[in-house]
Amino acid sequence: MNRAPLIFLGVFCALAFSFVGLVLTNQLTYGAFTTHVDEDEGKVFPLQTPGIAAQGKLVYQDLGCVSCHTQQARREGFGSDIGEHSRGWGERQSVARDYLRESRVLLGSQRIGPDLRNLAVRKNPDNVAFTADWLYRYLFNPKLVVKDSSMARYAFLFETRKIIGEPSPKALKLPEIYAPEEGYELVPTARGEALVAYLLSLKDTYAYPETKNVYTPPPASEEGETKKGHE
Amino acid sequence: MATDSSLSPGLTPEYSTPQAAEASVIDASLRAPLIALTASAVVWLLIASMLGIISSWQLHTPAFFDGCEYVTFGRIQPAQTNAFIFGWGFNAAFAVGLWIMARLSRGALPACGVLLLGTVFWNVGVTAGVSGIILGFSTSIEWLEMPGFVSPLLLIAYALISAWSLVVFRAGRSKQIYASQWYLFAALFWFPWIYSVAEVMLVLSPVRGTVQSVVHAWFAGNLFLLWFGSIGLAAIYYFLPKLLSKPVSNYYLASLSFWWLVIFGSWAGVARLIGGPVPAWVQTVGAAASFMLLVPIVILGMNHYGTLSGRWSALKDSITLRFVACGIVALTLMLLAWVADAIHGIAAITQFTYAVPAQVQLGFYGFFSMVMFGSLYYIVPRILGTEWASAPLAGVHFGASAIGVALLVGSLAIGGYNQGFLMSDATVSFADVTKATLPYLLAASTALVLLAIGQLAFAINFFWTLSRASAPAVCSVKGLLAAELEAAR
């Protein structure tokens, strides 16, 4: 190992090998993956995110929500994301095609907070569907709606303004101590509205061909244990 | 070099031909750029540890600074990671890597203007990037959060800095290429490739869907294992035999572990995608490549522990050796944790929990930073031509770092496993999972405060030493450079 050019060549080949094998191969094969045209429904899945939700995704990005929240439901039997006796974080596991229209995929690597991939079709801690109003109050002060929440307040996504004419339908219904003074109301800013619209657009419910007839393992005898042949 | 070949190949070549005069000329030629790089590294280290304490505190006390958008966890945490990796990590790696390369190649730096310019560019780039994250321009891609516009600047700066390692290598008189240099060559060449691929395919013109996740896992794995890993290993292979005055045990195996790590390590990063929405073969390949790391774990262990065995008493006398020994232990544990996390049953529990940052901290802090600290304790007095200003401060730094890392990694790992077990039991509510992690998070915050105290001691010691040495050093650097150029002719 005393020849510098040989070391360089070897290092080059090793990296080229993994670059071709992992990056290029995936880009050339499933990087060309297409959307699914459902002729019965006359729609192309995954659906395009509506404009305000797309703006909301930028708010999600700039606030760094991905630091605490993942956006992927793992398959049944791997953790307890979906299926029976699970946290119910989705109707089915997330597949590659769900992310096809996203210019930035935010899978995330930490669950300091719960997964958000299917927020729009999940039940909130009060066991009813998430609504914009619930999410506004949660973002304004999480402890208002979930006593044990460990999320920080995102009060800067809201502003207090004078009521002119009719009160805004988006105004937050707050308990006495947090309520703004008479004649004023607390409403979400444009960013707050966009963020909530984005959160309420999060759902992977469409059944693609690849998500049907997926082998689901028999329930494991113990939590977290996976048996042979689950792959 | 007839005399060289008769010596054991495991002995640091420079040690085998002690030429004090040559070494001091090399050190003098590196003085200005190394001071600039080390000083920036130390400043970034302090910034990162301050941000780290804030973000860690927010985990158990969510109300901490939550009124201010710029200080929310989602911004401070990525700002901390980037300041740590690109601010402290790269500056320190540039300094230590260049010095080791110059000493081993026995070549002096011909000029330092461009290198200093590169250092300025790099730090301007990192400053812009970290401020960008805090102001809300984050890309939200882990370890690549800095806004896209800084990446050309960082790449140019990288070229301006790292090219000099090749210059000193070419200028050098040594005919041997030692293990440290293999790793340095690999690292030098590695970063621009992975970084530019990741920036282009993720930020500038994003590829479709979860191909992004594969590219990202490839980048992150390579940066962690093969960039920081290589720089740390280069320093370990240099300092162990040098400070113990004995050849590396089983040195003939070192090249095998090098190639093994380079070939399989570059595939191992995608193991983190186990269970995710990417092709099953990618996950399997990642796990298989991670298992392959068992071979370098064994060989590196034979090299490192074999060299240290019977000489543990030497740790008492040398602060560098103490830091490096800690780094060696952390490296072994980190690689073993990497292999364990590639096992399905374990990944199902540890994935997305605090066990992940525990492993990352073990690598960045326990291994890389500890080895860099040790190296700087050796290098700084030599380039400044003086002793460290305070031995007690160095002792405080070592004690706080060793205890801090153990406490940080231990609490996050145990807390993370606990969190993972509770999370996989759907009858435990999410709020209860969060509550169960609180004591561990408090312990982690305490550890970060301890680490910050150590780093503060290091910074004070460094700048104190610098101020004591700077007056004569600045005057003499030009003279020595001129003398060295004469000698080269």
Task: For A45, list phi and psi in degrees, rounded to 5.
Answer: -110, 145
DSSP state string for B245-303:
TSPPTTGGGHHHHHHHHHHHHHHHGGGGGTTSSS-HHHHHHHHHHHHHTHHHHHHHHHH
Contact B209/A97, CB-based, under 8 Å?
yes
- Residue B2: its pLDDT value, please? 33
- B437 to chain A: closest CA residue: A112
Contact B139/A100, CB-based, under 8 Å?
no
- Residue B6: its pLDDT value, please? 35
pLDDT digits 0-9 by tens, B9-58: 455 545 445 566 788 889 989 999 999 999 999 999 999 999 999 999 99
> Among B66, B78, B213, whose Cβ lies nearest the Cβ of A105?
B213
pLDDT digits 0-9 by tens, B211-254: 999 999 999 999 999 999 999 999 999 999 999 999 999 999 99
Contact B352/A109, CB-based, under 8 Å?
yes
C-alpha B451/C-alpha A11 separation (Å) is 36
Contact A64/B74, CB-based, under 8 Å?
yes
The count of C-alpha atoms lying within 13 angstroms of the C-alpha of B203, restricted to the half-sphere facing its C-beta, is 23
Contact A100/B351, CB-based, under 8 Å?
no
Is the Cβ–Cβ distance between A104 and B309 less than 8 Å? no
Q: Does A102 touch chain B (CB under 8 A)?
A: yes
Which residues of chain B make contact with A32, given a CB cutoff of 8 A? 208
- B266 to chain A: closest CA residue: A18
Alpha carbon of B181 to those of A8, B91, B241, B242, B444: distances in Å? 11, 18, 15, 15, 36
Q: Does A30 touch chain B (CB under 8 A)?
A: yes
DSSP code of residue B352: T
Q: Does A58 touch chain B (CB under 8 A)?
A: no
pLDDT at B488 over 60: no
Gap from A110 CA to chain B (nearest CA, Å):
4
Gap from B124 CA to chain A (nearest CA, Å):
21
C-alpha B468/C-alpha B307 separation (Å) is 36
- Residue B16: its pLDDT value, please? 46
Please give the biggest Cα pair distance in chain B.
77
Contact B136/A111, CB-based, under 8 Å?
no
Instruction: Place A75 in a pLDDT band, splitting at 50, 70 and 90.
Output: confident
C-alpha A79/C-alpha A223 separation (Å) is 8
C-alpha A113/C-alpha B320 separation (Å) is 41
Gap from B307 CA to chain A (nearest CA, Å):
21
Between these two residues, A123 and B367, which has the higher pLDDT value?
B367
Tokens matching residue B486: 């004469």
Between these two residues, B224 and B488, which has the higher pLDDT value?
B224
- Residue A225: its pLDDT value, please? 44
3-state secondary structure A35-94: CEEECCCCEEECCCCCHHHHHHHHHHHHCCHHHCCCCCCCCCCCCCCCCCCCCCCCCCCC
Which residues of chain B make contact with A159, given a CB cutoff of 8 A? none
Contact B201/A23, CB-based, under 8 Å?
yes
Q: Estimate the crossing angle of helix B90-105 against helix B20-60, to 10 degrees.
A: 160
| Sequence-separated (6 or more) residues with CB below 8 Å from residue B25 | B108, B480, B483, B484, B487
- Residue A221: its pLDDT value, please? 56
Contact B266/A95, CB-based, under 8 Å?
no
Contact B276/A107, CB-based, under 8 Å?
yes
Among B321, B433, B426, CA closest to B370: B321
Is the ipTM of this structure higher than 0.95?
no
pLDDT digits 0-9 by tens, B401-458: 999 999 999 999 999 999 999 999 999 999 999 999 999 999 999 999 999 999 999 9
- Residue A142: its pLDDT value, please? 92
Neighbours of B29 (CB within 10 A): 27
Q: Estimate the crossing angle of helix A190-199 against helix A132-140, to 10 degrees.
A: 120
CA-based angle B357:B361:B363, to the nearest 5? 120
Gap from B111 CA to chain A (nearest CA, Å):
23
Please give the biggest Cα pair distance in chain A.
83
C-alpha B32/C-alpha B204 separation (Å) is 36
Amino acid of residue B106? R
- Residue B481: its pLDDT value, please? 61
CA-based angle B206:B210:B214, to the nearest 5? 90
pLDDT digits 0-9 by tens, B201-210: 999 999 999 9
Contact B425/A78, CB-based, under 8 Å?
no
